[in-house]
């Protein structure tokens, strides 16, 4: 007899961690694995954050509780940052510090009731679907299509909002995980305006906002229906800090602070204080990371272009490239599992990122550089073998 509740059955892990666990099992058995599946930038080794956590007495001596809404210095730093970027005056009361991924679940829980619908991009970050379902919400989707550069279609979004009165929130990651695509301000303003007109929360996942390499850097127009999620995990090369925030309406922010209080009291004080000092001192890691990823995008694109069996939209932001493998005849889960088993390279199947993902693989660009390039060479070779097998079996046209 199972002791699990029905609610617990809605709780599912993120897909990238599922295949990571499979890779780690192979490693524990002595297999050497190239990791291209997980969005971990820690290999860039943020020396300034390490120094602050090790040597700054204001931080190393701080082991008491923090406020559930977060340390005042960090909230103030982020309020100033968002005020400048959004051309709107935010104060400390508009910012709550919370664990990076938890912010998604918390914000949906505070904004929506069970049975409400949440409009999500397909493809989009996998946690949006998982968090919606765990909160008893129904995810519905708008399409991002490769043939249009994964650009949102405002007419499609408008139609979704008009036909479905149960939609309470629209979520978009900009830049996108898994796409590595940054949507220009005209698109973002269009989405924000549609949501404001319908009284729908517009949730912008800003995790990669400082990692844009081409296109307009002008921010979306701010409405009171806008909410922003940000994390230091990626652009500070510090995923282990788990420091994130939600910025928006003060009443919603206060309720997320209550959520923090109930579930984990507060985030670790030393981590918050280090993050505040780091942000105020100029975010020294950022330019190093940006320059490195731009070089990697060029190199990986050149490797993948060698294959006539692959297609992709060249990234202009973020740390990922999303590759169409449909001409291999393999669905992405089978492809990723075989690639891991046969070649010792771990990539993330696209199925976790939305209904269209069965034809795509996400490759992360931020790990070990030499392994990235050798892993992509293996990828191209494996794709060619799979595509020729599919042709021989009559699954694809010659």
Determine the Cα–Cα distance for residues 224 and 232; give it in Å rounded to an integer: 24
Residue 291 clears pLDDT 90, i.e. is over it: yes
Give the E-state strand segments of 50-196 in sequence order. 95-99, 117-122, 138-143, 167-173
Are both 173 and 64 inside the same structural domain? Answer: yes
Residue 225's CATH number: 3.40.640.10
Are both 275 and 309 inside the same structural domain? Answer: no
Are both 203 and 104 inside the same structural domain? Answer: yes
Which SS3 state, helix, strand or coil, does residue 96 take? strand
**Tens digits of per-residue pLDDT, 127-169?**
999 999 999 999 999 999 999 999 999 999 999 999 999 999 9
pLDDT of residue 285: 83
Structural domain includes residue 5? no
Percent helix, strand, coil in the chain, to 5, is: 50, 15, 35
Instruction: Report the half-sphere exposure of 126 (CA within 13 A, side-chain side).
Output: 19
**Tens digits of per-residue pLDDT, 196-252?**
999 999 999 999 999 999 877 788 999 999 999 999 999 999 998 899 999 999 999
Are both 323 and 385 inside the same structural domain? Answer: yes
Within 71-153, residue ranges assigned H as helices are 72-86, 102-111, 126-134
Structural domain includes residue 3? no
Residue whose entry in the numeric block shows the structure tokens 């924000």:
192
**Tens digits of per-residue pLDDT, 38-87?**
888 988 989 998 999 898 888 887 889 999 999 999 999 999 999 999 99
Average pLDDT, the chain: 94
The pTM (predicted TM-score) of the whole model is 0.95
Query: CB–CB of 253/94 below 8 Å?
Result: yes
Which one has a higher pLDDT value, 352 or 16? Answer: 352
| Domain's final residue, options 280, 301, 318 | 280
pLDDT of residue 396: 61
Task: Work out the average pLDDT over 187-191.
Answer: 97
Residue-range definition of the domain harbouring residue 161: 47-280
Read off the pLDDT band of 395 (50, 70, 90): low
Structural domain includes residue 317? yes
| Domain's final residue, options 246, 280, 314 | 280
Which SS3 state, helix, strand or coil, does residue 173 take? strand
Domain count along the chain: 2
Are both 179 and 65 inside the same structural domain? Answer: yes
Are both 363 and 322 inside the same structural domain? Answer: yes
The tokens describing 195, both together, are 């949501």
Determine the Cα–Cα distance for residues 114 and 177; give it in Å rounded to an integer: 26
Structural domain includes residue 147? yes
Structural domain includes residue 2? no
Query: CB–CB of 236/278 below 8 Å?
Result: yes
Residue 380's CATH number: 3.90.1150.10
| Domain's final residue, options 280, 305, 322 | 280
Structural domain includes residue 394? no
Are both 294 and 275 inside the same structural domain? Answer: no
Q: What is residue 234's DSSP assignment?
A: T
**Tens digits of per-residue pLDDT, 310-336?**
999 999 999 999 999 999 999 999 999
């Amino acid at each position: 007899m199972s002791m699990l509740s029905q609610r617990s059955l809605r709780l599912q892990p993120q897909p990238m961690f599922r295949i990571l666990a499979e890779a780690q099992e192979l490693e524990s058995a002595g297999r050497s694995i190239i990791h291209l599946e997980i969005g971990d930038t820690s290999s860039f080794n943020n020396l300034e954050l390490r120094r602050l956590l090790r040597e700054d007495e204001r931080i190393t001596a701080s082991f008491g509780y923090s406020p559930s809404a977060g340390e005042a210095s960090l909230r103030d730093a982020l309020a100033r940052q968002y005020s400048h970027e959004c051309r709107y005056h935010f104060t400390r009361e508009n910012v709550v510090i919370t664990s990076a991924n938890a912010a998604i679940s918390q914000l949906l829980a505070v904004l929506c009731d069970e049975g409400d619908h949440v409009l999500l991009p397909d493809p989009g970050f996998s946690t949006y679907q998982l968090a919606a379902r765990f909160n008893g919400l129904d995810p519905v989707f708008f399409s991002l299509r490769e043939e249009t550069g994964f650009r949102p279609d405002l007419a499609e979004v408008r139609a979704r909002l008009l036909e479905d009165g149960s939609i309470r929130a629209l979520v978009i990651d900009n830049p996108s995980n898994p796409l590595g695509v940054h949507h220009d301000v005209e698109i973002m303003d269009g989405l924000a305006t549609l949501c404001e007109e319908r009284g729908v929360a517009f949730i912008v996942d800003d995790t990669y906002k400082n990692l844009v390499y081409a296109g307009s850097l002008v921010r979306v127009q701010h409405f009171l229906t806008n909410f922003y999620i940000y994390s230091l995990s990626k652009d500070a090369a510090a995923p282990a800090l788990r420091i994130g925030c939600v910025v928006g309406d003060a009443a919603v922010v206060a309720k997320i602070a209550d959520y923090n209080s109930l579930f984990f009291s507060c985030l670790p004080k030393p981590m918050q204080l280090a993050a505040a000092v780091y942000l105020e001192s100029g975010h020294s890691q950022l330019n190093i990371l940006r320059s490195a990823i731009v070089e990697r995008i060029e190199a990986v694109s050149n490797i993948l272009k060698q294959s006539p069996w692959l297609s992709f939209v060249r990234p202009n932001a973020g740390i990922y490239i999303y590759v169409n493998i449909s001409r291999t005849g393999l669905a992405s889960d089978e492809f990723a599992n075989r690639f891991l088993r046969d070649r010792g390279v771990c990539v993330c199947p696209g199925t976790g990122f939305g209904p269209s993902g069965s034809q795509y693989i996400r490759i992360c660009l931020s790990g070990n550089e030499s392994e990235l390039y050798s892993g992509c060479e293996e990828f191209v070779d494996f794709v060619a073998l799979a595509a020729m097998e599919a042709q021989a079996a009559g699954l694809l046209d010659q």
